[in-house]
Structure 1
Amino acid sequence: MSSLYLRNATPADARRCYEIEIGAYEGDEAATLEKIATRIAQYPEGFLIAETEGQIIGFINCGCAQVVQMSDEAFKELVGHSSDAPNVVIMSVVVDPLHQGKGYALQLMNEFIGRMRAMHKQTIHLMCKDRHVGLYEHMGYRYVQPSASDHGGMAWHEMIMVL
Protein backbone atom coordinates (compact mmCIF):
# COMPACT_ATOMS: atom_id res chain seq x y z
CA MET A 1 0.00 0.00 0.00
CA SER A 2 1.31 3.43 -0.95
CA SER A 3 1.48 6.13 1.68
CA LEU A 4 -1.47 8.45 1.95
CA TYR A 5 -1.21 12.24 1.98
CA LEU A 6 -4.20 13.98 3.57
CA ARG A 7 -5.05 17.65 3.03
CA ASN A 8 -7.92 20.10 2.71
CA ALA A 9 -9.48 20.55 -0.71
CA THR A 10 -8.89 23.49 -3.03
CA PRO A 11 -11.17 24.63 -5.88
CA ALA A 12 -8.84 22.93 -8.37
CA ASP A 13 -9.76 19.55 -6.82
CA ALA A 14 -13.48 19.73 -7.67
CA ARG A 15 -13.38 17.98 -11.04
CA ARG A 16 -11.32 14.99 -9.82
CA CYS A 17 -13.54 14.65 -6.75
CA TYR A 18 -16.59 14.66 -8.99
CA GLU A 19 -15.05 11.89 -11.14
CA ILE A 20 -14.49 9.78 -8.02
CA GLU A 21 -17.99 10.54 -6.72
CA ILE A 22 -19.77 9.44 -9.92
CA GLY A 23 -17.52 6.38 -10.20
CA ALA A 24 -18.24 5.18 -6.68
CA TYR A 25 -21.86 6.10 -6.02
CA GLU A 26 -24.90 4.58 -7.68
CA GLY A 27 -27.47 6.43 -9.76
CA ASP A 28 -28.66 9.78 -8.46
CA GLU A 29 -26.90 9.51 -5.12
CA ALA A 30 -23.69 11.12 -6.46
CA ALA A 31 -23.26 14.84 -5.87
CA THR A 32 -23.05 17.09 -8.90
CA LEU A 33 -19.86 18.93 -9.84
CA GLU A 34 -21.57 22.15 -8.74
CA LYS A 35 -22.39 20.76 -5.29
CA ILE A 36 -18.83 19.54 -4.82
CA ALA A 37 -17.42 22.92 -5.90
CA THR A 38 -19.81 24.67 -3.48
CA ARG A 39 -18.74 22.41 -0.60
CA ILE A 40 -15.07 23.15 -1.29
CA ALA A 41 -15.64 26.90 -1.63
CA GLN A 42 -17.83 27.26 1.45
CA TYR A 43 -16.14 24.85 3.87
CA PRO A 44 -12.68 23.66 2.78
CA GLU A 45 -11.90 22.81 6.42
CA GLY A 46 -14.55 20.11 6.19
CA PHE A 47 -13.40 18.72 2.85
CA LEU A 48 -10.53 16.28 3.36
CA ILE A 49 -8.66 14.92 0.33
CA ALA A 50 -6.65 11.67 0.25
CA GLU A 51 -3.80 11.45 -2.25
CA THR A 52 -1.35 8.72 -3.10
CA GLU A 53 1.47 9.05 -5.60
CA GLY A 54 0.27 12.59 -6.39
CA GLN A 55 -3.25 11.48 -7.38
CA ILE A 56 -6.48 12.19 -5.50
CA ILE A 57 -7.97 8.80 -4.64
CA GLY A 58 -10.69 9.73 -2.16
CA PHE A 59 -12.28 12.31 0.08
CA ILE A 60 -14.70 13.10 2.89
CA ASN A 61 -16.78 16.25 2.93
CA CYS A 62 -19.18 17.71 5.43
CA GLY A 63 -21.09 20.69 6.71
CA CYS A 64 -21.92 21.76 10.26
CA ALA A 65 -25.27 22.48 11.88
CA GLN A 66 -26.68 23.57 15.22
CA VAL A 67 -29.48 21.00 14.85
CA VAL A 68 -29.02 17.98 12.60
CA GLN A 69 -31.83 16.95 10.26
CA MET A 70 -30.32 14.09 8.25
CA SER A 71 -33.10 14.01 5.64
CA ASP A 72 -32.65 17.72 4.77
CA GLU A 73 -31.72 17.65 1.07
CA ALA A 74 -30.97 21.41 0.97
CA PHE A 75 -28.16 20.88 3.48
CA LYS A 76 -26.26 18.93 0.81
CA GLU A 77 -25.79 22.33 -0.85
CA LEU A 78 -24.76 23.74 2.56
CA VAL A 79 -28.03 25.60 3.05
CA GLY A 80 -28.10 26.13 6.82
CA HIS A 81 -24.40 25.30 7.23
CA SER A 82 -22.53 27.19 9.95
CA SER A 83 -18.81 26.48 10.35
CA ASP A 84 -19.08 27.36 14.06
CA ALA A 85 -21.86 24.83 14.73
CA PRO A 86 -20.92 21.86 16.95
CA ASN A 87 -22.46 19.08 14.88
CA VAL A 88 -20.77 17.71 11.75
CA VAL A 89 -22.82 16.13 8.97
CA ILE A 90 -20.80 14.03 6.51
CA MET A 91 -22.12 14.16 2.96
CA SER A 92 -19.62 11.93 1.16
CA VAL A 93 -17.05 9.35 2.18
CA VAL A 94 -15.64 7.99 -1.04
CA VAL A 95 -12.56 6.18 -2.33
CA ASP A 96 -11.96 5.61 -6.03
CA PRO A 97 -13.11 2.05 -6.81
CA LEU A 98 -9.60 1.27 -8.15
CA HIS A 99 -8.20 1.98 -4.66
CA GLN A 100 -10.91 0.43 -2.47
CA GLY A 101 -10.08 -2.43 -0.12
CA LYS A 102 -6.63 -1.05 0.75
CA GLY A 103 -7.49 0.56 4.10
CA TYR A 104 -7.57 4.09 2.73
CA ALA A 105 -11.13 4.81 3.90
CA LEU A 106 -10.18 3.99 7.48
CA GLN A 107 -7.08 6.22 7.33
CA LEU A 108 -9.12 9.01 5.78
CA MET A 109 -11.87 8.69 8.42
CA ASN A 110 -9.40 8.55 11.31
CA GLU A 111 -7.74 11.77 10.13
CA PHE A 112 -11.15 13.40 9.58
CA ILE A 113 -12.29 12.49 13.11
CA GLY A 114 -9.03 13.85 14.54
CA ARG A 115 -9.48 17.13 12.69
CA MET A 116 -13.07 17.48 13.86
CA ARG A 117 -11.99 16.86 17.46
CA ALA A 118 -9.27 19.50 17.08
CA MET A 119 -11.98 21.92 15.88
CA HIS A 120 -13.96 21.12 19.08
CA LYS A 121 -16.92 19.58 17.27
CA GLN A 122 -19.30 17.54 19.46
CA THR A 123 -20.80 14.97 17.09
CA ILE A 124 -20.32 13.54 13.61
CA HIS A 125 -23.42 12.30 11.76
CA LEU A 126 -23.61 10.29 8.56
CA MET A 127 -25.97 8.18 6.51
CA CYS A 128 -24.95 4.89 4.94
CA LYS A 129 -26.39 1.86 3.22
CA ASP A 130 -27.00 -1.49 4.95
CA ARG A 131 -23.71 -2.94 3.77
CA HIS A 132 -21.68 -0.16 5.43
CA VAL A 133 -23.32 -0.12 8.88
CA GLY A 134 -20.81 -2.63 10.31
CA LEU A 135 -17.87 -0.74 8.82
CA TYR A 136 -18.92 2.50 10.50
CA GLU A 137 -19.63 0.72 13.78
CA HIS A 138 -16.06 -0.63 13.60
CA MET A 139 -14.85 2.97 13.18
CA GLY A 140 -16.70 4.01 16.35
CA TYR A 141 -20.06 5.21 15.05
CA ARG A 142 -23.30 4.17 16.74
CA TYR A 143 -26.38 3.14 14.78
CA VAL A 144 -29.28 5.57 15.29
CA GLN A 145 -32.16 4.56 13.01
CA PRO A 146 -33.31 3.95 9.46
CA SER A 147 -33.33 7.33 7.74
CA ALA A 148 -36.38 9.13 6.40
CA SER A 149 -34.20 10.18 3.46
CA ASP A 150 -34.68 8.45 0.13
CA HIS A 151 -31.74 10.26 -1.47
CA GLY A 152 -30.96 8.73 -4.85
CA GLY A 153 -33.91 6.36 -4.44
CA MET A 154 -31.93 4.36 -1.86
CA ALA A 155 -32.56 3.18 1.71
CA TRP A 156 -30.23 4.81 4.25
CA HIS A 157 -29.28 4.38 7.90
CA GLU A 158 -28.31 7.18 10.26
CA MET A 159 -25.18 6.85 12.38
CA ILE A 160 -23.54 9.12 14.95
CA MET A 161 -20.20 9.48 16.70
CA VAL A 162 -19.97 11.54 19.87
CA LEU A 163 -16.56 13.22 20.07
Structure 2
Amino acid sequence: MNTLIRNVTATDLDRCYAIETFAYEGDEAATREKIATRIATWPEGFIVAEVDGVVAGFINSGAAFQVEMSDEAFKELIGHDPAGPQVVIMSVVVDPDYQGQGLAKRLMGEFIERMRALGKTNIHLMCKKRHVPLYAGFGFAYIKPSASDHGGMAWHEMVLDL
Protein backbone atom coordinates (compact mmCIF):
# COMPACT_ATOMS: atom_id res chain seq x y z
CA MET A 1 0.00 0.00 0.00
CA ASN A 2 1.59 3.25 -1.20
CA THR A 3 0.23 6.13 0.90
CA LEU A 4 0.80 9.83 0.35
CA ILE A 5 -0.52 12.52 2.69
CA ARG A 6 -0.85 15.85 0.92
CA ASN A 7 -2.83 19.07 0.82
CA VAL A 8 -6.16 18.88 -0.93
CA THR A 9 -6.62 20.19 -4.47
CA ALA A 10 -9.78 21.34 -6.24
CA THR A 11 -9.78 18.10 -8.26
CA ASP A 12 -10.34 16.14 -5.00
CA LEU A 13 -13.77 17.69 -4.38
CA ASP A 14 -16.01 14.92 -5.71
CA ARG A 15 -14.01 12.15 -4.05
CA CYS A 16 -13.95 13.98 -0.70
CA TYR A 17 -17.68 14.58 -0.91
CA ALA A 18 -18.27 10.87 -1.66
CA ILE A 19 -16.18 9.83 1.36
CA GLU A 20 -17.95 12.37 3.59
CA THR A 21 -21.39 11.02 2.64
CA PHE A 22 -20.25 7.39 3.12
CA ALA A 23 -18.70 8.05 6.51
CA TYR A 24 -21.20 10.29 8.26
CA GLU A 25 -24.79 9.54 9.20
CA GLY A 26 -27.71 11.53 7.82
CA ASP A 27 -27.48 15.29 8.13
CA GLU A 28 -24.09 15.28 9.85
CA ALA A 29 -22.25 15.00 6.50
CA ALA A 30 -21.08 18.26 4.98
CA THR A 31 -22.65 19.26 1.69
CA ARG A 32 -20.63 19.32 -1.52
CA GLU A 33 -20.77 23.12 -1.37
CA LYS A 34 -19.34 23.23 2.17
CA ILE A 35 -16.50 20.93 1.17
CA ALA A 36 -15.80 23.08 -1.91
CA THR A 37 -15.70 26.16 0.33
CA ARG A 38 -13.27 24.45 2.71
CA ILE A 39 -10.99 23.43 -0.17
CA ALA A 40 -11.02 26.91 -1.72
CA THR A 41 -10.75 28.87 1.53
CA TRP A 42 -8.03 27.08 3.49
CA PRO A 43 -6.29 24.22 1.66
CA GLU A 44 -3.49 24.43 4.28
CA GLY A 45 -5.98 23.04 6.79
CA PHE A 46 -7.31 20.30 4.51
CA ILE A 47 -5.17 17.21 4.00
CA VAL A 48 -5.93 13.97 2.19
CA ALA A 49 -4.52 10.46 2.40
CA GLU A 50 -4.02 9.06 -1.07
CA VAL A 51 -3.58 5.28 -1.32
CA ASP A 52 -2.25 3.96 -4.59
CA GLY A 53 -3.46 7.13 -6.30
CA VAL A 54 -6.96 7.14 -4.74
CA VAL A 55 -8.07 9.60 -2.06
CA ALA A 56 -8.97 7.31 0.84
CA GLY A 57 -9.55 9.81 3.66
CA PHE A 58 -9.13 13.38 4.80
CA ILE A 59 -9.14 15.94 7.59
CA ASN A 60 -10.44 19.46 7.06
CA SER A 61 -10.50 22.46 9.34
CA GLY A 62 -10.66 26.19 9.80
CA ALA A 63 -8.73 28.65 11.96
CA ALA A 64 -9.95 31.40 14.26
CA PHE A 65 -9.00 33.74 17.05
CA GLN A 66 -12.09 32.80 19.08
CA VAL A 67 -13.65 29.34 19.01
CA GLU A 68 -17.26 28.52 19.79
CA MET A 69 -17.64 24.84 18.93
CA SER A 70 -21.42 24.96 18.62
CA ASP A 71 -21.22 27.73 15.97
CA GLU A 72 -22.79 26.11 12.89
CA ALA A 73 -21.79 29.01 10.62
CA PHE A 74 -18.12 28.18 11.16
CA LYS A 75 -18.66 24.91 9.27
CA GLU A 76 -19.04 27.16 6.22
CA LEU A 77 -15.88 28.98 7.35
CA ILE A 78 -17.80 32.11 8.36
CA GLY A 79 -15.43 33.62 10.90
CA HIS A 80 -12.42 31.68 9.59
CA ASP A 81 -9.16 33.62 9.68
CA PRO A 82 -6.03 31.81 8.46
CA ALA A 83 -3.99 33.89 10.91
CA GLY A 84 -6.05 32.62 13.85
CA PRO A 85 -4.03 30.59 16.34
CA GLN A 86 -6.80 28.09 17.05
CA VAL A 87 -7.80 25.32 14.65
CA VAL A 88 -11.20 23.64 14.47
CA ILE A 89 -11.37 20.23 12.81
CA MET A 90 -14.64 19.72 10.96
CA SER A 91 -14.14 16.26 9.43
CA VAL A 92 -11.88 13.29 10.04
CA VAL A 93 -13.02 10.61 7.62
CA VAL A 94 -11.71 7.47 5.97
CA ASP A 95 -13.55 5.63 3.21
CA PRO A 96 -15.02 2.42 4.68
CA ASP A 97 -13.03 0.38 2.12
CA TYR A 98 -9.80 1.73 3.65
CA GLN A 99 -10.69 1.62 7.34
CA GLY A 100 -8.70 -0.54 9.72
CA GLN A 101 -5.39 0.23 7.98
CA GLY A 102 -4.20 3.01 10.29
CA LEU A 103 -5.05 5.83 7.88
CA ALA A 104 -6.90 7.97 10.44
CA LYS A 105 -3.91 7.69 12.77
CA ARG A 106 -1.48 8.70 10.02
CA LEU A 107 -3.71 11.57 8.92
CA MET A 108 -4.10 12.90 12.45
CA GLY A 109 -0.39 12.65 13.20
CA GLU A 110 0.45 14.54 10.02
CA PHE A 111 -2.31 17.10 10.62
CA ILE A 112 -1.03 17.84 14.13
CA GLU A 113 2.52 18.31 12.86
CA ARG A 114 1.37 20.62 10.06
CA MET A 115 -0.61 22.76 12.48
CA ARG A 116 2.43 22.98 14.79
CA ALA A 117 4.54 24.03 11.81
CA LEU A 118 2.01 26.78 11.03
CA GLY A 119 2.43 28.08 14.59
CA LYS A 120 -1.09 27.21 15.76
CA THR A 121 -1.67 27.00 19.53
CA ASN A 122 -4.37 24.36 19.75
CA ILE A 123 -6.75 22.14 17.81
CA HIS A 124 -10.43 21.76 18.71
CA LEU A 125 -12.84 19.08 17.57
CA MET A 126 -16.25 17.61 18.32
CA CYS A 127 -16.80 13.88 18.24
CA LYS A 128 -19.27 11.21 19.24
CA LYS A 129 -18.80 9.62 22.65
CA ARG A 130 -17.39 6.42 21.15
CA HIS A 131 -14.52 8.39 19.57
CA VAL A 132 -13.41 10.21 22.74
CA PRO A 133 -10.80 7.52 23.60
CA LEU A 134 -9.45 7.61 20.03
CA TYR A 135 -8.76 11.34 20.19
CA ALA A 136 -7.49 11.11 23.78
CA GLY A 137 -4.83 8.78 22.36
CA PHE A 138 -3.55 11.69 20.26
CA GLY A 139 -3.36 13.90 23.34
CA PHE A 140 -6.73 15.64 23.05
CA ALA A 141 -8.30 16.53 26.39
CA TYR A 142 -12.02 16.13 26.98
CA ILE A 143 -13.73 19.48 27.58
CA LYS A 144 -17.48 18.90 27.85
CA PRO A 145 -20.62 17.67 26.13
CA SER A 146 -21.28 20.10 23.29
CA ALA A 147 -24.25 22.41 22.97
CA SER A 148 -24.25 21.54 19.26
CA ASP A 149 -26.92 19.20 17.97
CA HIS A 150 -25.41 19.07 14.48
CA GLY A 151 -27.13 16.37 12.44
CA GLY A 152 -29.42 15.61 15.39
CA MET A 153 -26.52 13.91 17.20
CA ALA A 154 -24.89 14.28 20.64
CA TRP A 155 -21.34 15.64 20.44
CA HIS A 156 -18.40 16.01 22.79
CA GLU A 157 -15.79 18.78 22.67
CA MET A 158 -12.07 18.07 22.89
CA VAL A 159 -8.93 20.17 22.53
CA LEU A 160 -5.23 19.53 21.93
CA ASP A 161 -2.77 22.16 23.08
CA LEU A 162 0.14 22.40 20.69
TM-score by length of 1: 0.98
Name segments (4+ residues, structure 1) moved above 4 Å.
none
TM superposition shift of 1:102: 1.1
Q: Which runs of 5+ in 1 are unaligned?
A: none
Following superposition, the deviation at residue 144 of structure 1 comes to 0.4
Equivalent residue, structure 2, for 1:14: 13
Aligned-residue identity in percent: 64
- Matched with 2:65 is 66
The DSSP-based 3-state class of the residue aligned with 2:49 is strand
1:12 counterpart SS class: helix
CA–CA separation in structure 1 for the residues paired with 2:128 and 2:59 = 16
**Aligned partners of 2:131 and 2:2: how far apart in 1?**
24
Does 1:118 pair with 2:138? no
2:144 aligned counterpart, secondary structure? strand
Q: Which runs of 5+ in 2 are unaligned?
A: none
Shift of 1:3: 3.2
Partner of 2:85: 86
Task: State the 1:51 CA deviation.
Answer: 0.4
Q: CA deviation at 1:139?
A: 1.1
**Letter matched to residue 70 of structure 1:** M
**Helix, strand or coil: the match of 2:30?**
coil
1:48-94 C-alpha deviation (Å, 9 max, x unpaired): 01000000000000000101000000000000000000000000000
2:95 paired residue number: 96
- Number of matched residues? 162
- Taking the aligned partners of 2:62 and 2:38, their CA distance within structure 1 comes to 8
2:52 is aligned with what amino acid? E
User: For residue 145 of structure 1, what is the aligned residue in structure 2?
Assistant: 144
Q: TM-score, normalised by structure 2?
A: 0.99
Q: In structure 1, how many angstroms separate the alpha carbons of the residues matched to 2:134 and 2:76? A: 26
Q: Give the Å deviation of 1:116.
A: 0.2
